[in-house]
Amino acid sequence: FGDDRWALGAATLTITFLILVFSEITPKVIGAHHADRLALIVSYPLSTLLRMFYSVIWFINLFSRGLLRLLRLQPTEANGAAALSTEELRGMVLESRQYIPQAHRNILVNLFDLETITVEDVMTPRGAIEGIDLSDPIDVLRERIATSYHTRLPVHDGDSEQVIGVLHLRRLLGHAFDNDVTTDKIRELMVKPYFVPADTPLYSQIQFFQENRQRLALVVDEYGEMLGLVTLEDIIEELIGKFTTSTPESARRLRWGDDDSVIVDGSTNLRDLNRQLQLELPIDGPKTLNGLLLEYLQDIPETGLSVRIAGTPIEVIQTQDRRVKTARIFRTVARAAAA
């Protein structure tokens, strides 16, 4: 390169560039794209080199461990494959969009949340539970059973707060044809209700359903007050999304209208809103839209009141019995452009 003072700098930059391109970046890219094939090819020479330099490697490791002990650092032994944390696995799934379809990625990500999501997050609230009251006239009971969209109904006797059993409607089919549905027959066929704490993780609950061959549990708080009802279908839908409906009303999927807004019921679960509308409403507190609005405002809102929560504009359309019955959610310009 000559004796020019710039020669050494130019040579250093050139060699650095060549090393980075041909010794670092390019080989790693090729190795990442053809990992399996290249692993088979290089395994034989690498195995031979490891045997040849085993004593050198042993001495270097011995020296390194001694130095680490002087620094009071305990080296970890690598027994087999390195263990990955849940967050690392989640990141791998989210980054594999080129290889795994969106629906499959959602299922895998939801699996990681089974230990953190509780039955309270996916349950049907107490006010939305359909049941039968044995204190009603028998004609009312027969009509309610005949027109129910559910296969299992909670049973109470006068006090809606106290569930005394769960009735499987299939057990009544034969008696219904014989017009033999009576209060005593319902008491005979119903089974003992199963109660579960509100903070039970979904993973534990689905294990119980599987081991005991049950599909329904009543959710209670720490004082024993019933909060709602959770079924096996609720847990499965949390994993894979809506796949079945029990009532015509539940078949309506939330979709943005032409004016970039959607009207939702106040009892709608926040996790369902976030999933269906791609929102980011907080889910670490209240479980429903009504609860979120009441907590945010610290008061019963009036009709027409508008607020913005987590960047999402929400307008109260109707209130009833000290709760938000319906509300309108608006899609922001950024989310509309992303869609």
Give SS3 for 12.
Answer: helix
Same domain, 137 and 220: yes
How many domains in the chain? 3
Q: What is the C-alpha separation between 104 and 15, in angstroms, rounded?
A: 46
Rg (CA), the chain: 31
Q: Name, in order, each residue with C-beta under 8 angstroms of 220's C-beta and a sequence gap of 6 or more.
A: 195, 196, 197, 198, 226, 227
Q: 170 is in which domain, residue-wise?
A: 119-231
User: Is the distance from CB of 217 to CB of 194 less than 8 angstroms?
Assistant: yes
Residue 276 lies in a domain: yes
Segment 58-74 mean pLDDT: 85
Higher-confidence position of 87 and 232: 232
**How much is the pTM?**
0.63
What pLDDT was estimated at residue 272?
84
Same domain, 166 and 225: yes
Q: What is the C-alpha separation between 154 and 193, in angstroms, rounded?
A: 8
Mean pLDDT, the chain, integer: 84
Worst-scoring range by mean pLDDT, 84-88, 130-134, 221-225? 84-88
Judge whether residue 177 has pLDDT over 80.
Answer: no
Segment 187-197 mean pLDDT: 90
Same domain, 181 and 226: yes
Higher-confidence position of 241 and 187: 187
Same domain, 218 and 258: no
CATH number where 331 lies: 3.30.465.10
Two tokens, residue 6: 């710039």
Q: What is the bridge-based pairing of β-strands 152-156 and 132-133?
A: parallel
Segment 96-103 mean pLDDT: 80
Segment 128-143 mean pLDDT: 88
Same domain, 137 and 216: yes
Same domain, 156 and 223: yes
Rounded to 5°, angle at Cα 287 from 278 and 225: 160
Half-sphere exposure of 129 (CA within 13 A, CB side): 28
What pLDDT was estimated at residue 84?
75
Same domain, 138 and 197: yes
Q: What is the C-alpha separation between 253 and 241, in angstroms, rounded?
A: 11
Same domain, 194 and 257: no
What pLDDT was estimated at residue 338?
60
Same domain, 209 and 126: yes
Q: For residue range 308-334, what is the model confidence (pLDDT) as tens digits?
A: 998 899 999 999 888 899 999 998 876
Residue 261 lies in a domain: yes
User: Is the distance from CB of 134 to CB of 113 less than 8 angstroms?
Assistant: no
Segment 78-90 mean pLDDT: 69
Q: What is the C-alpha separation between 233 and 235, in angstroms, rounded?
A: 5
Residue 35 lies in a domain: yes
Segment 186-212 mean pLDDT: 90
Rounded percentage of the chain residues whose pLDDT exceeds 70: 89
Residue 1 lies in a domain: no
pLDDT band at 244 (very low <50, low <70, confident <90, very high): low
What pLDDT was estimated at residue 4?
64
Same domain, 124 and 224: yes
Worst-scoring range by mean pLDDT, 8-22, 138-152, 168-182, 266-280? 168-182
Residue 237 lies in a domain: no
Same domain, 223 and 259: no
CATH number where 212 lies: 3.10.580.10
